[in-house]
Structures are given as structure tokens and as C-alpha cells.
Structure 1
Amino acid sequence: MATKRMTVSQALIEFLANQWTLDGDLRERTIPGVFGIFGHGNVAGLGQALKQLNVSDPDLMPYYQARNEQAMVHQAVGFARMHRRRATFASTASVGPGAANMLTGAALATANRLPALLLPSDTFATRVADPVLQQLELPHDTGITVNDAFRPLSRFFDRVQRPEQLFSIALAAMRVLTDPAETGAVTIALPEDVQAEAFDVPLEFLQPREWHIRRPLPERHALASAVNAIRAARLPVIVAGGGVIYSLAEDVLRRVAELTGIPVATTQAGGGSLVWDHPQYLGGAGATGSSAANRILADADVVIGIGTRYSDFTTASRTAFQNPDVRFVNINVAPFDAYKHGSQLPIIADARETLVELERELAGFSVSTELAARVAREKAEWDGLVDDAFAPSGLALPSQSEIVGAVQSSSDPRDVIVQAAGSLPGDLHKLWRVRDSLGYHVEYAFSCMGYEIAGGLGVRRGAPDRDVIVMVGDGSYLMLHTELLTAVAEGIKLIVVIVQNHGFASIGHLSETVGSERFGTRYRYHDAEGRNFEGPSMLPVDLAANARSYGVDVIEIKPSPAAIDDLRSAIAVAKASESATVIHINSDPLLYSPDGEGWWDVPIAEVSELDSTSRARSEYVELRASQRPLLG
């Protein structure tokens, strides 16, 4: 057997460079590059391997510098979404804090069912130097390292304790990365001594290898039961999730909706499954959804969930479905999601392949004229509310809805909006008018503050022919803005709109509704006497100056009655530029978007000395009574 003498790191990097994903006729590199921050744990291992390959073949496995380990994984996730899970990046970090900084990214990838390969360095396998700098020491189990924290956050975890283990571990990792039902964070822990250890590598391990994306067909009996339930339904509704996007099913979903008249609502991950002005599109479902979607979901007798994991926001904490006889047809490649809501009608199959079969099996079926008329009525009413929310008020501090409307009207259909946390995900789910299947990227499975700029970079890497517009509140911006420097260093065009309201707008509003009176959610000077941050004096933070310090172009929108017009002009300037641009605008956090009639279960103190909390508790008990049990 022909072999090549290599280090573990050299073998791993060359192996990754030769992995390919096949999805029908589409073929692309599974791992087109590596993000890395080097420290003592990986500089002599993976760092050396990347340098060596950069000298011999710089296009085979490019290295990209990062500023924050968490942000590396966010970039990989943003890229993976734009490539519909066919490709992602690897991320390497050093021992201890470098590795631990990737934990949030691992959780985000797994929660979103999006692939990301993590290569955290680990402490010496030989323990010849024990403890090493930054080693976590637990007296009851000295074998535990920081990297063991990745176990519950990863869809696959293993540690290369000996060079010979690399072969089976690397192949198993690739299987999970490319499996639609299993994918998420994949973690290979690499002890720093093993990384640099040499061994004989079979040339077969380094040859190009193809990984076929599984597109399982629906089973005949499961499909027949689902078709019978849909045909017998008085009010069927489709809830389209991320699986529609990942399986390239949006075209056949549109055909099924047009064939049958079945209305469609979308989850956050499913945004783009149907364009906003399609007659069957109701808008977002659930707690951050539209009144059109939620009113019809409340009466639905058959809910057809396609590629959705049914989060509490999608189900409005199980209050969205009020029909006592509602049944769930759950189409999902993952059995874990297909059986949710106690469904007796699961279809464990690919979304696109199942919709192709439904298109054939539902020929001749259509919803009643009464339902079709109601869908049109509810949609028109909601679209009118959105139009009103977008209309400029002329206030010096516009509402966030006005800001979203200005960005919407200034963007092109193929532009990608990126968001993750705060009040903006809810407003975007309600208001953003998606015109392209990949035009909406709101990370809401983990809703990670700080995702936006790093995720936006990943989106732009994955779609360099599209403008990427990142909308971020000041709270989330302050969490993780350092990747603006990455945009400057690599000349990556990104449009970042910072919406400043001097606090945590989303949690401030939530705090008010649960009776906590916005405590701890304002950015204010500390009041030593009151021992709180509730005073009237705002902090003198200058986020525009902060962004400018990274070398990006900055446009500041001053508070004025013309603020919305100025924002539109700024977006036009940013789109015409080839450089990264930050646009800063202030908003009034007390002006809210239209009510979509959804609810979110946040338990409220059962007893309280605060009248505001007691009143909120009474309302909570009343609303909770409408929650649907799992069974019965």
C-alpha cells in the first residue's frame, strides 16, 4: 500500500481539501477553506500544515484570518446557509480559551441544523507536559479538557489521541457534515502534540472523495395517509421551514400551493420559501408572525409542516393551533422533527421529493372558494398594515418599522437581509417582503446576539454576486463587531445598518409586558444611590466612531424629520460602493410594529410585591389557558 509520511495536521488538511459534496448534478468542495486564530495549541500543527499547503498549492485549502473564535463559526454557518448545506468552512482555535470561545458557535450551528467543522486544539495526549498553559484541571477526572464541553453541542465529537485514529474520525465527521438529518456542529479535538506527530498516511486517504446528499423518497403508505388527510381537510395550511430552502424545494412548493390553493406560512428559517406577494402566502407563522397567518392557523384542521422543527416561536408556544381536531402532517428528513406534536402522519423524507409526490397525488384537489376568499382577505388586510407601518412618520426618531421599510424599498430583490437577535427578528419576520428564496437570513434557532456581522460575512462569501445587508441593534453590535476588520482586510463588501435605541429594545419590551418595568435593559450611567441603571442620562457611546475606527466607510443619519429619506439615500450610496459601509441611525424603541396576534410563553412570577408583575401574571394565566396540550 502506497503511503506518504506526514503529520496528523498535514494529513487532515490535505484530506479536507479533497472532499466533495454531490447534490444531484451539483458538485462543490465540502470544505472550501479554513478560518483560524493561532496559539500555542495549533500554530505548530494546523498552522504549519496550512502554511505548507499555502506555499505548495495556495488554492487547495485557503486560510482566512479571523478576530474572534465564535465569529469564525458564525461565518461558516452563514456560508453554509447560502450553499443550502452543501458546503461549510472549518475553524481552528488554540487550547483553552480559544477553543471555549467556539462553544457558542457550535451551539448555534447545531440548533440551526447547519454544518460547521470545528477543529479545537487540545492538551497533550502524552501528558509529558502536564498541566500545560490554559489546561482545565479537574481533580476528579484529569482526562476532561475544555473540549469535552463540545460534546452536548455537537452532532459529532471525537478526539484524535493517536495518529492512526485520524482516518476513521475524519471519515465519520464528513458523513455527519453532509447528512441532512444529522448535520450541525462537527468537532474533532486535536491534542497539540498529536497534531505535529508524523505517521505513514495511505494515499487512498488523500484522494478525492465524494459525499452524496441523501434525498430519501417518501414511503408509499405514509404518503397515502397524508394525502387522504389533506384531501379530507376543510382548512389545510402549510408551514414551510428551512428544509424547503435546503432541499431546493421552493419551486415545487409554489406549484403545489397554486395547484391546490393551500395557503403557506413560513418560519424564520423558511423565509423565502414563497415570495411575499404570492396569492397563497400568508406571512410569518407564530409569535413573530402575521395576523393573516395566525388567524388561519388557529382554525386549521390539517397543518402540513415541511422541513420545520416547530420551535416555540413557530407554534406561538402551542397556542397557534386552536382547532381541537387539528392534525399534523410532518414532512422532515429528520425523524426527531417529523414526530413532533404527537403526529400520527409523519413523512420521513426529503422535502422536495415529497412535494413532487404531493403535486401528483393532489391533482384535482383544491381548497374551498370560501377559504380562498378568506386567505385573500386576511392577506390584503395584513399587507395594508405593513404599508402603514412602512410609511414615514416625519418623527426625528423613526420607528424600527419605518427603518425596515426604508431598507426594504432601497434594496434589490436578490439582496440578502441578515439578522439574528433583539427586536429586529420579530419585525423582519412580520414586515420584510422576501423576493428571493435566498434573500432572507435570520438566524433564529439560537438567536445569537453578535451573529449578524460575522454571519453576514459568511453570507457574502457564499454569494459574492449579491449585496448583503446586515441589520443590527446597538445591543447586538456591542456583543461582536470586530469582524468589521475582517471585511476591511479582505475587501469584502458588506452593508451594516446599526439601529441604535440605547438599550435592549426586545427585552425591554418583554420586561415591560412581564411586569419588570424594563429593569436592566437601558444603557444608562450607574446610579450609585439607587444601585441600578434606571437614571435619565444616556451613555455617550458613539458606535459610528467605533465602526469608523476599523476603516470601514460610515454614514451617520442624524435625528430629523428627514431621517427615513436620508436612510434611503445612504443605502443607495452603500450599494453603489465596492467597500464595506456602516450606516448608523437612531430609533424610538417605544414605537412598535403591527400586532401579529401571536404569543410567546415567558413564565411570570407567581407572587410579587410589584403591582405591575401581579397584573402581568393575571394576563399570563389567561393567555396560557389557550395552550394546546401534546395529546388530548
Structure 2
Amino acid sequence: METIRLTMSQALVNFLDNQYIEVDGQVYKFVKGVMGIFGHGNVTGIGEALEQHTGELQFIQGKNEQGMVHAASAFAKQNNRLQIFACTTSIGPGALNMVTAAATATVNRIPVLLLPGDNFACRQPDPVLQQIENPSDYTISATDAFKPVSKYWDRIVRPEQLMTAALNAMRVLTDPADTGAVTLVLPQDVQCESYDYPVEFFRKRVHSVQRRAAASATLKAAVDLIASKKKPLIIAGGGVHYALAENELAHFAETFGIPVGETQAGKSALPWNHPLNAGAIGATGTLMANILAKDADLVIGIGTRFSDFTTASKSAFQNQDVQFISINVNAMDTVKLNAFGVQADAKEALSALHAALSQLDYKTTYEPGYMQSLKETWDGEVDRLYAMELEEGLSQTRVLGEINRWMDDSSVIVCAAGSLPGDLHRLWRSVQPKTYHMEYGFSCMGYEVSGAFGVKLAEPSREVYAMVGDGSYLMLHSELVTSMQEGYKINVLLFDNHGYQCIHNLQRAHGSEGFGNEFRYRSEDTGSAKGPYMPMDFAAQARGMGAKTYTVTTIAELHEALEMARKETVSTLIDIKVLPGTNTSGYESWWRVGVAEVSTSPKVRQAFENMQTEVAQSKERGLWAN
């Protein structure tokens, strides 16, 4: 057997550079490169390997460990999970900074490979700088924190262990049903130890993704169930995009006259103006989609996790005869809501169901013009919100409307947290697939700027816009610098509304007067945190990092800034001053949060009673335990 002597890190880098993925006969290079921040725990190991590597892997220097993993996740998501970046850090705080982003990737089922350094396996110099010592279990280190947020975790304490660990990592990273964060923990001494690796380990390896077809008996039962229903509703999730099934979805809906509601991850699977696109569903849903959900006698979930926002905490479906079908490659998702599960690839399942239902001449029984009427009503409401003028300043919905009308159909928006996801889910009018990039599985504040950089890496020819609130921007915006360093222009549209207004609104909706969520000075008179708003010059801050910046307080200034930003060749930031509380809410939706059962506030007590009523109604519909 032919071998080559390499350090474990050198072997890992060479292995990653030779991994490919195949879908529908097309082969893609799976690992685009490595993002990293070096410290004493990885710079002389994997850092040396990357420095000396002569292959095709691209190295990108991160500025914040969490931020660079968000960028890697966004890159993989925008590429429909067909290409990834690995991320490496030192031990201790550098590694732990990646944990939040690891959870974000795993919740959203996005493949990302994490390579944190770790304590010395030999223990000779222990305790080293940044080492956590557990007096009851000395094998525990900071990197054990990745276990609950990783789909696969391994610590490589001998260089030859890399071979099984790396293959298992690829198994999970390329698995459409069970992907997420994969963590290979690399003790800093083992990174530098050598071994005679078989040359075969470094051959080009193509991981074939098999589209899973539904079992014949399962398919027949699903067809029978659909055929027995009069008013079905489709809920399109992110799995539609990942399965490249947008055309199959449109064909299926059009043939049988079934309206389609969209989750945050599924949005843009159909153009907004498609006559059967009911828009956003659930707690951040449209009036059209939520009315259809209440009356539906069958809900067909396609590639969705049926999260609480999608189901409006299981209150969205109120027909006493409603049943559910869940089409998903992930078995866990097929049993939610007591659904009839179809474990299958979305594209395969839609094609098979279409063929079988066509033979039955199946059609829904929605009244002629009903869908059009609902859609016209909702489009009118969006037009109203997009045109909303206030004497005091800019409303958030008006700003979104102006941006939406101005933006090219091929441009991509990126968002994750705050009040913007609700407004964008309801109001944003996407025309082309993959132009709406929302991280809402974890709704991780700070994803937006990093995510925009990752999307731009994935699709350099597109204009990419991070839509971010001031609170989320303050939490994490470091990869704005990386975008300029690497020459990948992104645009940050910063909505400055003086704090965490989404949660401020949630407080007030449940009896609070508002506490701890606005960026205010402490009052000199009362000592409370309800003094004047803090004036923030985000444009000046970003300008100091090298971005081109603009400040907007009027619609005319917004138009001018957008045009100027489009012409720039470096990353831009537009600081948009919007009025707090000018976001959307309601539209036949409900979302369950915990409300104090005992309080001195009459408003809180009333909010608790209202919540109990909604919970009781949810139980009566039989969806409580599912």
C-alpha cells in the first residue's frame, strides 16, 4: 500500500480539497475553502498546513469566530447545501465563540464543518493558556460544549483517527436529512503529529446524494387522503429549495388548484404574484394565508419543520376535520402535528403525487374567484403599508416598500432577527427563487451582516443586502470588514429604531409598559432607564472601518442613498432612521409566549387570561401533544 507521511493537519487539508458531491448527475466541489482565526491552539498545526497547501482551497481570515461560521452557513444555504466552508479556531474562547453559530447551522439543517483546536492530548504542559480544567473529569474541555449543537462530534487524539472521523464528517455533511454542524476537535499537539497515511485516503471522493422516493404504499395512502379533501393548503418550507423543486411545486399547485403558503425558509419558492401564492403563513403570516389555513381540511407540508411560527403555535388550523401530510427527508419532521408522514425528497414526492392525482382528475373545490379576491385584498393591504406616511418620520413598512420597488429582482436580501423578519415575511415581494435569505430557525441576532458576506461569496454576481436592526447590528457586524478585505461588496441596510423594538412590542402586547428594550439614557430625574433616546451615528462607525456610508431620514434621501450604494464598488452601509413601533402585526395569527400567572398589573393579569383562552382552544383542536 502506497503511503505518504503528513501531519494530521496536512492530511485533513488534503482530504478536504478532494471532496465532491453529486446530485442529479452533476458534480460539485464540496469544500470551497477554510475560514479561520488563528491562535496558539491551531496556528502551528492547521495554520501551517493551510499555508503550505498548494491545492484549490480558499482561505478567508475571519474577524469574529461566530461571525465567520454564520458566513459559512449562509454560503452553504445559498448554494442549496452543495458547497461548504470549514472554520478553524484556537482553543478556549475562540472555539466557544463558534457554539452559537454551530447551533444556528444545526437548527436550520445547514452543513458547516468546525475545526476548533483543543488541549494537548499528551497533557505534558497542562494546564495551558485558555485550558478549562474539570476536577472530576479531566477529559472535558471547552470543545465539549459543541456536543449538543453538533450533528456529529469527534475528538481526534491520534493522527490515524482522522481517517474514520473525516469520513463520518462527510457522511453527515452530505446527508440532506441529517446535516448540520459537524465538529472535529483537534488537540494542538496531535495537529502537528505525523503518520503514514494511505495515498488512497486522498483520492477524489464523490459523495452521491440519492433522491429518496416515497414507498409505493405510502404514496398510495397519501394520494387517497388528498383525493378525499376539498380545500387543501400547501405549506412550502426550505426543503423545496434544497430539493430544487420550485418548478415541481408550481406545476403541482397549478394542476390541482391548491394554494401555497410559505415559511420563512420556503419564501421565494413561488413568485409573489403567482395567483396561488398565498404568501407567508402563521404568526408572521398574511391575511390570505391565515384565512386559508383556518378553513383548510388538509395541510400538505413540504420540507417544513412545522415550527411554532409556521403553525401560529398550532392555532392556525381550525377546521375540525383538518388532517396533515408531511413530506420531508427527515423522519422526525414527518410525524409532527400527527401528520401522515411521507419520508421522501420533495422533488420526487411532488412528481409522483402529481402523476397519481392526475389519473384521478383531482381538483379542489374552492369557489371561482375566491383565491383572487383574497389575493387582491392582501395586495391592497401591502400597498397601503408600503405607502404609509407619518408626520413624525419614516415608518418601517414605508421604507421596505420603497426598497422593494427599487431593488432589482435578482438581488438577494438577508435577515434574521428583530421586527424585520415579520415584516419581510408578510410584505416582501420576491420574484426569483433564492433572493430571500432568512435565518429564522434560530433567529440569531448578528447573522445578518455575516450572512450577507456568505451569500456574496456564494453568488458574487448578485447584489446582496443585509437588512438589520440597530440592536442586531451592534451584536455582530465584524464580517463587514472581511467583505472589504476580500473584495466582496455587500450592502447593509440598517434600520435604526432605538433598540430591541420587536421584543418591546411583545412586552406591551402582554401587559407590560415596556422595560429594558430601548436604547435610552438613564433619567436624571427618576433614575429609571427611560430617559432620552441615545443618538447613534452608525454611518460614522462603519465609515471608520472603510465602508461607504449614508444617513437617511427622508424618502428622498433613501432613494439617493440606494442609487449611490448601487454604484459603489466597496461595501456600503445606509443608516436609516425609522420610527419605533411602525412594524406589522396580527392578521388572524397568534403566538404563544409565557405570561405571568400572578402580577400586580391588571394588564398582565388580563394578558394571562387571554393566553389561557388561546391555549385551551388549541387543546380542543387536538394538536396539543403534536
State the TM-score bracket (shorter-chain normalisation).
Answer: over 0.9
The equivalent residue for 2:291 is 295
Aligned to 2:293, the other structure's residue is in SS state helix
The equivalent residue for 1:593 is 584
The equivalent residue for 1:136 is 132
CA-to-aligned-CA distance 1:565-592 (integer Å, 9 cap, x gap): 3213322222222221111111111223
The equivalent residue for 1:69 is 65
Aligned equivalents of 2:106, 2:324: Cα separation in 1: 25
Aligned equivalents of 1:463, 1:395: Cα separation in 2: 40
Q: Contact between 2:449 and 2:479, CA under 8 Å: does it hold in 1?
A: yes
Aligned to 1:33, the other structure's residue is in SS state strand
1:383 aligned to which of 361, 366, 379: 379
- The answer on 1:516 being equivalent to 2:509 is no
Aligned equivalents of 2:190, 2:38: Cα separation in 1: 16
Change (3 A) 1:532 1:143: farther
509-518 or 174-183: bigger deviation: 509-518
Paired AA for residue 539 in structure 1 = M
The correspondence of residues 210-229 of structure 1 with structure 2, limited to 5 A, is 210-229=206-225
Give % identity: 47
CA-to-aligned-CA distance 1:176-201 (integer Å, 9 cap, x gap): 00000010000000000000001111
CA-to-aligned-CA distance 1:439-489 (integer Å, 9 cap, x gap): 101100000000000001000100111111111000000000111111111
How far residue 421 of structure 1 moved from its aligned partner, in angstroms, is 0.2
CA-to-aligned-CA distance 1:351-370 (integer Å, 9 cap, x gap): 00101112211212111241
1:415 aligned to which of 391, 411, 417: 411
Aligned equivalents of 1:51, 1:584: Cα separation in 2: 39
Aligned to 2:617, the other structure's residue is in SS state coil
The equivalent residue for 1:261 is 257
Change (3 A) 1:328 1:478: same
The equivalent residue for 2:522 is 526
Q: Contact between 1:318 and 1:629, CA under 8 Å: does it hold in 2?
A: no
Aligned to 1:20, the other structure's residue is in SS state strand
Change (3 A) 1:32 1:617: same
Paired AA for residue 612 in structure 1 = K
Q: Contact between 1:430 and 1:596, CA under 8 Å: does it hold in 2?
A: no
Q: Contact between 1:123 and 1:192, CA under 8 Å: does it hold in 2?
A: yes
Aligned equivalents of 1:67, 1:534: Cα separation in 2: 34
Aligned to 1:313, the other structure's residue is in SS state helix
The equivalent residue for 1:576 is 567
The equivalent residue for 1:20 is 20
Paired AA for residue 81 in structure 1 = K
Paired AA for residue 388 in structure 1 = R
Aligned equivalents of 2:195, 2:118: Cα separation in 1: 19
Aligned to 2:481, the other structure's residue is in SS state helix
CA-to-aligned-CA distance 1:324-370 (integer Å, 9 cap, x gap): 22111100000000111112x21000000101112211212111241
The equivalent residue for 1:250 is 246
Aligned equivalents of 2:584, 2:391: Cα separation in 1: 15
How far residue 594 of structure 1 moved from its aligned partner, in angstroms, is 5.7
Change (3 A) 1:631 1:319: closer
The correspondence of residues 441-480 of structure 1 with structure 2, limited to 5 A, is 441-480=437-476
Aligned equivalents of 1:517, 1:88: Cα separation in 2: 45
Query: Root-mean-square deviation (CA), in Å?
Result: 1.3
1:547 aligned to which of 520, 536, 542: 542
- The answer on 1:368 being equivalent to 2:382 is no
- The answer on 1:630 being equivalent to 2:626 is no
Aligned equivalents of 1:100, 1:14: Cα separation in 2: 26
Paired AA for residue 41 in structure 1 = G
Aligned equivalents of 1:531, 1:227: Cα separation in 2: 65
- The answer on 1:84 being equivalent to 2:77 is no
Q: What runs of 5+ residues in structure 2 fail to find an aligned partner?
A: none
Paired AA for residue 587 in structure 2 = G
Aligned equivalents of 1:332, 1:451: Cα separation in 2: 26
The equivalent residue for 1:35 is 35
Change (3 A) 1:172 1:529: farther
Paired AA for residue 489 in structure 1 = Q
The equivalent residue for 2:352 is 357
Paired AA for residue 617 in structure 2 = S
Aligned equivalents of 2:133, 2:211: Cα separation in 1: 45
Aligned equivalents of 1:102, 1:532: Cα separation in 2: 35
Aligned equivalents of 1:396, 1:491: Cα separation in 2: 39
Paired AA for residue 119 in structure 1 = L
- The answer on 1:605 being equivalent to 2:605 is no
- The answer on 1:538 being equivalent to 2:533 is yes
1:237 aligned to which of 233, 236, 260: 233
* TM-score, scaled to structure 1: 0.96
How far residue 436 of structure 1 moved from its aligned partner, in angstroms, is 1.0
Q: Contact between 2:20 and 2:205, CA under 8 Å: does it hold in 1?
A: yes
The equivalent residue for 1:565 is 556
- The answer on 1:556 being equivalent to 2:551 is yes
Q: Contact between 1:385 and 1:594, CA under 8 Å: does it hold in 2?
A: no
CA-to-aligned-CA distance 1:515-562 (integer Å, 9 cap, x gap): 222200110113477554122x122321111111110000111x3xxx
How far residue 435 of structure 1 moved from its aligned partner, in angstroms, is 0.7
Q: Contact between 2:284 and 2:585, CA under 8 Å: does it hold in 1?
A: no
Aligned equivalents of 1:578, 1:327: Cα separation in 2: 52
Q: Contact between 2:230 and 2:366, CA under 8 Å: does it hold in 1?
A: no
510-519 or 86-95: bigger deviation: 510-519
* TM-score, scaled to structure 2: 0.97
Aligned equivalents of 1:11, 1:576: Cα separation in 2: 44
Q: Contact between 1:180 and 1:214, CA under 8 Å: does it hold in 2?
A: no
Aligned to 1:554, the other structure's residue is in SS state strand
Aligned to 1:445, the other structure's residue is in SS state coil
Change (3 A) 1:350 1:112: same
Paired AA for residue 363 in structure 2 = S
Aligned equivalents of 1:514, 1:214: Cα separation in 2: 48
Aligned equivalents of 1:547, 1:612: Cα separation in 2: 42
How far residue 394 of structure 1 moved from its aligned partner, in angstroms, is 5.4
Aligned equivalents of 2:183, 2:485: Cα separation in 1: 28
Q: Contact between 2:68 and 2:479, CA under 8 Å: does it hold in 1?
A: no
- The answer on 1:619 being equivalent to 2:610 is yes
How far residue 609 of structure 1 moved from its aligned partner, in angstroms, is 0.5
Q: Contact between 1:452 and 1:471, CA under 8 Å: does it hold in 2?
A: yes
CA-to-aligned-CA distance 1:197-227 (integer Å, 9 cap, x gap): 0111110111110011221011111111111
Q: Contact between 2:499 and 2:519, CA under 8 Å: does it hold in 1?
A: yes
Aligned to 1:314, the other structure's residue is in SS state helix
CA-to-aligned-CA distance 1:42-100 (integer Å, 9 cap, x gap): 000010000001xx34xx11110010000111011111111101111100000000000
The equivalent residue for 1:173 is 169
Aligned equivalents of 1:294, 1:578: Cα separation in 2: 42
Aligned equivalents of 2:302, 2:338: Cα separation in 1: 16
